[in-house]
Chains A and B, each alone.
Chain A
Amino acid sequence: MTEHRDGVDAAAADPERGPRHWSAARLPRGLHPGAWWLWALGLATAASHTTNPLLLALLVAVAALTVLRRRTDAPWALAFRMYLVLGAVIIAMRVVFRIVFGGGQGEHLLVSLPEIPLPEWAAGIRLFGPVAVEQVLGGFYDGLRLATMLVCLGAANALANPKRLLKAVPGALYAVGTAVVVALSVAPQLVESVLRVRRARRLRGATGRGMRALRGIALPVLADALDRSLALAAAMDSRGYGRTAAVPAGQRAATGALVLGGLVGVCAGTYGLLDSTGSGYLGLPMLLAGLVVAVTGMLLAGRRVRRSRYRPDRWRSAELLVAGCGIAAAALTLLAGSVAPELLYPPVSPLTWPEVTPLMLLAVAAAAGPAWLAPPPPGSPSTRAPTAGTPVNAVAAPTRTGDPATSVPGGHP
Chain B
Amino acid sequence: MSVLRVAPRTAVVLALASAAALATFTWPFFIPAHPESTARTGEAPLVFLVMLPVLVALVLAELSSGGIDSKALAMLGVLAAVNAALRPLGAGTAGIETVFFLLVLAGRVFGPGFGFLLGSTSLFASALLTAGVGPWLPFQMLCASWVGLGAGLLPARLRGRAEVAVLAGYGAFAAYGYGLLMNLWFWPFSLGADTQLSYVAGAPVLDNLHRFAVFTAVTSTFGWDTGRAITTAVAVVLAGPAVLAALRRAARRAAFDAPVTFAAPAPQPAPSAATPVPGAPVAASGDVTGPAVGVAPSARRGLDEQSATAEEGGQGGGSHQAPQRPAD
Which residues of A are in contact with B by a Cβ distance under 8 Å? 48, 75-76, 78-79, 82-83, 90, 93-94, 97-98, 101-103, 105, 122, 124-126, 135, 138-139, 142-143, 146, 149-150, 153-154, 157-158, 162, 170, 172-173, 175-176, 178-187, 190-191, 196-197, 199-201, 203-204, 206, 211, 215-238, 241-242, 244, 256, 259-260, 263-264, 266-267, 270-276, 278-280, 282-284, 287, 291, 294-295, 298, 301-302, 304
Contacts and interface: CB of A to CB of B under 8 A. Distances in A.
A103 B79 CA distance: 48
Interface residues of B, number: 104
Given A220-B313, A233-B278, A282 B37 contact: yes
Contacts of A82: 131-132
A216 B9 CA distance: 44
Contacts of B161: none
Nearest to B46: A48
A143 B190 CA distance: 8
Nearest to B320: A227
Contacts of B124: 180
B47 interface: yes
Contacts, number: 323
Given A184-B129, A223-B319, A230 B277 contact: yes
A404 to B, nearest CB: 16
A192 to B, nearest CB: 12
Contact of A283 (B38, B129, B194, B278): B38
B125 A200 contact: no
Contact of B17 (A103, A228, A263): A263
Which of B84, B133, B238, B320 counts the most A-chain CB atoms under 10 A from its CB? B133
Given A235-B326, A276-B32, A295-B54, A76 B128 contact: yes
Interface stretch (B57-65, B174-182, B225-233, B261-269): B57-65
A294 B13 CA distance: 10
Given A190-B81, A260-B12, A179 B73 contact: yes
B27 A274 contact: yes
Contacts of B31: 274
B160 interface: no
B258 interface: no
Given A215-B239, A215-B242, A228-B78, 5 more contacts: A98-B195, A186-B78, A200-B313, A241-B73, A242-B69
A221 B313 contact: yes
A105 B193 CA distance: 13
Interface in B121-180: 121-122, 124-125, 128-135
Contacts of B55: 266
B243 A219 contact: yes
B85 A187 contact: yes
B90 interface: no
Nearest to B14: A263
B288 interface: no
14 contacts: A76-B131, A97-B191, A138-B192, A150-B134, A182-B81, A190-B82, A201-B314, A216-B313, A218-B239, A230-B74, A235-B327, A237-B70, A275-B32, A284-B38
